Amino acid sequence: MGKARCSSFSARLQGTGFSNGGDINLDILQSLRQLWSFSSNDTLLAQLDLLTPATFDNQYYINLLSGEGLLPSEQVLMIEDEQTRAIVEAYVEDQFAFFEDFIYAMVRMGSVGPLAGNNGEIRWNCQIVN
């Protein structure tokens, strides 16, 4: 389902510690380093969830709680913010709560209209303002 470019999680490959998302499972770290070593450019993608990558479930949140989150930004947010950690723990405990919240979020995102005129812009490159 979700994937990330190696450059998005390369900080996690530098070892363990809070600056790169907190401690990481050594087996996961070794797998990521091996994947990174095969990447000669930034086109290689890694699964956000290595255990059930093609299944829509709550495994991603289980991974975060276990210190196996791929993206350092999400792992740190889960560690540093009590409110975020509570949400992660709720989704780990109750997969259906995650499903319900996901449905609600998708409906809300679907109702967001495009910005027009001086209220927004369509970027040629998402990372750079036109």
Tell whether domain 3-110 is in CATH 3.30.365.10: no
52 is in an annotated binding site: yes
pLDDT of residue 111: 92
Q: Determine the Cα–Cα distance for residues 63 and 108; give it in Å rounded to an integer.
A: 26
Nearest to 6 by CA among 14, 55, 66, 60: 14
27 is in an annotated binding site: no
pLDDT of residue 35: 66
What does pLDDT average to in each consecutive run of 10 residues of the chain (130 residues)?
77 54 65 65 76 92 86 82 94 97 96 81 81
- Residue 4 burial class via C-beta count within 10 angstroms: exposed 0-12, middle 13-18, buried 19 and up: middle
Nearest to 67 by CA among 79, 55, 59: 79
Q: What are phi and psi of 5, to 5 degrees?
A: -70, 150
57 is in an annotated binding site: yes
- Rounded to two decimals, the pTM is 0.72
Domain boundaries, the chain: 3-110
- Indicate the helix (H) or strand (E) that contains 45: strand 45-47
